[in-house]
Amino acid sequence: MRSPLMPDLGWFRYRPAPRRASAADIELVTLFEAGGAAEQRCEALVRYFLEGFLAVATPDYERAQYRGMGSSHGYRVAGVEGFARTAPLFAAWIAGGRNPVFAGLAGRRGVDLRQLLAAAFTAGADPQHPGYWSDPRDFSQVLVEASDIAIALWMVRDSVWPLLDERAQSNLITWLRRAATADRPTNNWLLFGATADAVVAALEGRAVTSLPAYERFKPHYLGHGWFSDAAATRVVDYYNVWGITYQLAFLRLIQPGYDSAFLRDAVLASADLTAHLISPRGIPIMGRSVCYRTAASAPLAVASLLDPSAERHGLSRRGNDCVWRYFLAHGAARGGTLTQGYFGDDPRVLDNYSGPGSSHWGLRSVIPALLHPPGSPYWTAAEQPLPVEVGDYRLDLPELGWVIEGDQASGDIRIIIPLNRGNHPALIRYTSQHRLGELRRRRAYRPDNHAAAYDAEIYTAAAPYPLKS
């Protein structure tokens, strides 16, 4: 019987994620372990995630209902996430000048990514379509997804936008404009509104002189390209890597005349800092949204677009290679999607707001790389070693409240938080009580592991906190 206090948001419609690796999963791991051409590996990633998307997408592609643990936002919102966080990968493939038609996909004659995206944009923004993405209401999760949809649309403004009829274009502009102006938390969500605003202006042929949401966020700047992700207190974590820096870079690309110097400098500074957090042995993960871990190298990738030097290109490729090779080898991809944990699925470190498609923010390290055309200097520049492969280092970052240490011999990287001296909080296990709570509430009810994520003195790549019992 349904509880009048807890409306059913489709909790029992989620299907469990596959437990065993498929032949496609193993093939992808083998390809990355073998090394070889970076372009070939990127193409393999796109093909892998395209096949995974097609297996779970609705007929018009506007939603993708991936298998896995559900979120507190409900099944339909999870479907929007599944599309929104995967579509930029396809858009970047097209925008980089590659053949948009994929042949040789299992059970399909061929898939034209232009037609796929055109159908999805048309259906998703149509209030009369059963797969409508929903109204962008104040504080709704769809405000987050609107930013990825906007970025995807901007990337294919010359190839897919002209395929849409006048009504579809009008629906998209209206939907994005509403997403840009809706009220939202005073954190990284402000950048999602700014991005939607910037894309609407670009599609209308306008250069912006003001992005109010961005201007509300900018005072959170701390230094080194990083920001606090809260208005009242200092919150420093990897959202600077896979959220904030990525969004800032696309604002700079979409509206190149707006706050140009600051945006470029912040992105490049963040890339320089982030390079010190990546090792062939992983990353010293801490904080929220552990399942986005394959986007750890995103700042290096977007920096290669704003400063297309041989050194930036080579460092971006090395960062992406280390991140993807490491996590794929440890089970981060399963069944055509990214798993919901640090390695495999792990409810202890999966936030209640995260659903099966949420992990595809992890594609944000690949998307900028694909914007470089085939055979361009990005793909031919000599690979550059990461800082931890060059020598030992210690970065004192009082603005962030961090010290970062790298050890060349072991490949280990440590984040030390002096304010947390002596703290060693343990992870809370996911128990039968959590499972029972989810069944009763029909909502995600996973452990609150904020203390383990933020309050420890040391976070290390060699022994990441999600692997501790």
Burial of 298 (0-12, 13-18, 19+ CB in 10 A): buried
| For residue 189, pLDDT beyond 90 | yes
Tell me what pLDDT residue 185 has: 97
Q: Would residue 402 count as lying in a domain?
A: no
φ, ψ dihedrals at 121, nearest 5°:
-60, -40
Lowest mean pLDDT among 8-12, 44-48, 224-228, 432-436: 8-12
6 three-class SS: strand
Three-state SS sequence of 148-186? HHHHHHHHCCCCCHHHCCHHHHHHHHHHHHHHHHCCCCC
Q: What angle do CA 133, 293, 20 make, to 5 degrees?
A: 85
DSSP for residue 241: I
Q: Would residue 456 count as lying in a domain?
A: no
Tell me what pLDDT residue 469 has: 58
Tell me what pLDDT residue 5 has: 54
396 strand-pairing partners: 403
Q: Which two tokens stand for residue 317?
A: 């490729």
| For residue 2, pLDDT beyond 70 | no
Cα–Cα distance between 406 and 214 in angstroms, integer? 33
| For residue 164, pLDDT beyond 70 | yes
The closest of 281, 277, 290 to 338, measured between CA atoms, is: 290
3-state DSSP percent of the chain in helix, strand and coil, to 5: 50, 10, 40
Q: Which two tokens stand for residue 313?
A: 């290109």
Mean pLDDT of 12-34: 97
Q: Would residue 463 count as lying in a domain?
A: no
| For residue 3, pLDDT beyond 90 | no
Q: Would residue 234 count as lying in a domain?
A: yes
pLDDT by residue (tens digit) across 130-155?
Answer: 999 999 999 999 999 999 999 999 99
Mean pLDDT of 44-48: 98
Q: Is the pTM of this model over 0.95?
A: yes
Q: Would residue 394 count as lying in a domain?
A: no
Give residue 69's domain range.
11-389
Tell me what pLDDT residue 1 has: 40
Tell me what pLDDT residue 230 has: 85
Distances (CA, A) of 80 to 50, 84, 129, 294, 394: 16, 6, 14, 21, 42
| For residue 275, pLDDT beyond 50 | yes
Cα–Cα distance between 56 and 61 in angstroms, integer? 9
Mean pLDDT of 164-190: 98
Cα–Cα distance between 26 and 48 in angstroms, integer? 11
Burial of 174 (0-12, 13-18, 19+ CB in 10 A): middle
Stronger pLDDT, 100 or 7, i.e. the higher one:
100
pLDDT band at 331 (very low <50, low <70, confident <90, very high): very high
Mean pLDDT of 390-405: 99
Q: Would residue 254 count as lying in a domain?
A: yes
Q: Would residue 125 count as lying in a domain?
A: yes
Mean pLDDT of 349-364: 98
User: What percentage of the chain reaches a pLDDT higher than 70?
Assistant: 99
Average pLDDT, the chain: 97
Q: Are 149 and 84 in contact (CB under 8 A)?
A: yes
φ, ψ dihedrals at 4, nearest 5°:
-65, -20
Cα–Cα distance between 349 and 469 in angstroms, integer? 12
Helix 87-95 × helix 113-124 angle, to 10°: 130
Q: Are 428 and 452 in contact (CB under 8 A)?
A: yes
The CATH number that applies at residue 274 is 1.50.10
- How many separate domains does the chain show? 1
Could you tell me which residues come within 8 angstroms of residue 190 by beta carbon, excluding any fewer than 6 positions away? 184, 213, 214, 216, 217
Tell me what pLDDT residue 245 has: 99
Q: Would residue 439 count as lying in a domain?
A: no
